[in-house]
Amino acid sequence: MPRASSRLIDPSDADALADGRHADPFAVLGPHRTRGGWVIRAFLPQAAAAWVQAAGGEAEMSRVHPAGLFAARVDEAAAAAYRLRLAGHDGQGWIIDDPYRFGPVLGELDIHLLVEGRHLRTFEKLGAHVTVRDAIDGVHFALWAPNARRVSVVGDFNGWDGRCHPMRLRHGAGVWELFVPGLGAGAHYKYELLDAGGTLLPLKADPYGHYAEVPPKTASVVWDLADRAWSDGEWMAGQGRRNDRHAPVSIYEVHLGSWRRVPEDGGRPLGYLEMAEQLSAYVKEMGFTHVELLPVHEHPFSGSWGYQPVGLFAPTSRYGTPEDFRTLVETLHANGIGVIVDWVAGHFPRDAHGLHRLDGSHLYEHEDPRQGLHKDWDTLIYNYGRTEVRNFLYSNALYWMEQYHVDGLRVDAVASMLYLDYSRKPGEWVPNRHGGNENLEAIEFLRRMNEVVYAEHPGVMTIAEESTAWPMVSRPTWLGGLGFGFKWNMGWMHDTLRYFSKEPVHRRYHHDDLTFGLLYAFHENFVLPLSHDEVVHGKGSIIARMPGDRWRRFANLRAYYAFMWTHPGKKLLFMGSEFGQEREWNCDGSLDWHLLEDGLHEGVRRLVRDLNRLYRVEPALHQLDCEPAGFAWVDCTDRDNSVLSFLRRGHDPDEVCLVVCNLTPVVRHDYRIGVPAGGFWHEVFNSDSHWYGGSDIHNDGGRHADPQPWHHQPCSLALTLPPLAVTVFKRSR
């Protein structure tokens, strides 16, 4: 092999590479044919000397720039297949493969689909992927940054020196890519960018990164999401049946970091693997059908509970690895429990290592703060009008279903997405093209997101947290709806909490708080939520709102839960509320599990467990949750006694449950209730049972219906109504 000559590189190219300013490193580095033959160039600041190794021998490289730029003339065969042997300043030697001898990884079809916005799985192409090129193991990095002058991948492997691994720009798509041979899972990395003006930006974490350092550290970590041998095939085959609006859906909302901690280990949170064992066993015992996890996306500030995510594609490393999180999902499925993940597609934080001004421009967010700044949370709003941003979010929705087998997404803060003037004063927002306050681009994004999700994974569910009267949130897009599977019923939550917080003597004046919701209960597919939002920010716990002495507070809470579980709509309860947590939720500590040593707290837990069982085994209580045929008032007018009674029905007309609510502490004897048929009506549930801490006033297992018409029904029951209690009856068949 010939030796290197002194004229091996243009001095301006050498200076630009040494200064980290060269926008097209592949035009200079790696093998290139010149007038004098083939030349190989490499920027190796860590090397004191370097050689090109090929089948025909070895050629010493000349240092052509003092910063560490080397070059050598080689023959054509060597240029086609070679490695670099390096000697360090300490005399140690090693061999590497040159990243700049490899061609592009992204194909023209990938680029075309990325540009058109039709690549629904951009997570398969962008980000960091362990791969093999020309029989060489390595990692392919790709970042969308169309307005950057130069992008480099930096990490432990190159001393965080942005001059070492500048990336190739794929013109037209604005995507920078580089295959770095020799790297594998576990490598820490970020991206170093120069903006369009040449200014060095803060190092950026990978928007598509699968894993990250444990906060407060912020580097991304290469992780190989190779195909897992999942063992939940039976669950996935029946996923649609379990998530259907005719199925029993009772959701236990969980913040992983504060559900249960390990006091003997400094009060640390449980990891994903520990949660897999303990949470799944507890939720199974309690009878919940699903868990909903507060956002598990990587987030820098623990106090945001995950609602200000930086890494939408990374389960937070606070509790373990991505594979550990997969095990958590798989274990929950093995125990018959679905997994819903809170999904934050409405805003993102302004942390320097995140999406904010990723390439020096307003890339993911709107430039105009009247459109791009969320004043309530000091966060940034996605630019839903941009193809690449929409694709980023569509792909993320599919990612959680395909890579982690989640059963649904609860979309956070949908109202803030729908309205341009959300939480803004006049003059602080920009009207849409029709002069209105609807965010037309966000509306189109949500519709398309739901279409994509349900088309690709028809068995999952999407749930909107939407607090306004926006119509048809959970109706198909072809009917003009937003396409969600379900919507949180925030109105029901506010009305009922207000009612149950009143002293019973005053409830006759607030009777409509319990009945009004049935005027619109079937306009949407509703979830009845008592979520984390109701136990924070000075609101106290649910039981803290209950009036009266200690016994009455617990009786009220039991009656409230029984009313909720028998009311039309799917159920959601935040952790700790199932046993009457007294304190307001603290995300930095554990739930107060010691309260279960108290009989009244244990009684509430038993009640919720039994309500879940009743809800699941009685078709009348869940099959027609979202349809008018599943509900009928018997009597909603007895405000003076604060008594409500109604029927719940299933698909089978003979599947009927009678629910009677006595919401004062007065026992009512021989209270007559109309029923649709004669026979014996079993008392299948009583929230006043001694088993739950009640006074154990009951109806001796049930009552025979009298042929006395009442409440426009052909028959009636003369019942004893226990105080501050809900009873459920089912006709014997």
Active site residue ranges: 412, 465
Sheet containing 69-74: give its strands across: 30-34, 37-43, 69-74, 62-65
| CA neighbor of 550 nearest in space, from 598, 509, 507 | 598
DSSP 3-state of 382: strand
Instruction: Round to whole Å and give the CA distance between 250 and 650.
Output: 17
Q: How many residues does the chain have?
A: 733
Cβ atoms of 657 and 647 within 8 Å: the answer is: yes
CA angle 283, 288, 291 (to 5 degrees): 70
Dihedral sign, Cα of residue 447, residue 452, residue 455, residue 457: negative
> Is beta strand 338-343 parallel, antiparallel or unpaired with respect to 408-411?
parallel
Look up residue 638 and give its amino acid. Answer: D
Q: What is the DSSP string of 668-727?
A: EEEEEEEESS-SEEEEEEETT-GGGTS-----TTEEEPBS--BTTBSEEEEEEE-TTEEE
- In 323-458, DSSP assigns E strands to 338-343, 373-374, 379-380, 408-411
* H runs (alpha helix) in 541-580: 550-566
Cβ atoms of 180 and 153 within 8 Å: the answer is: yes
| CA neighbor of 95 nearest in space, from 132, 58, 41, 140 | 58
Considering only CA atoms, give the Rg of the chain.
31
- The structure tokens 């290139």 sit at 32
Please list the residues that pair with 252 across neighbouring strands: 291, 573
What is the C-alpha end-to-end distance of the chain, expressed in Å?
A: 94
The two tokens of residue 196 are 């369009």
Q: What is the DSSP string of 441-467?
A: HHHHHHHHHHHHHHHH-TT-EEEE---
Cβ atoms of 433 and 440 within 8 Å: the answer is: yes
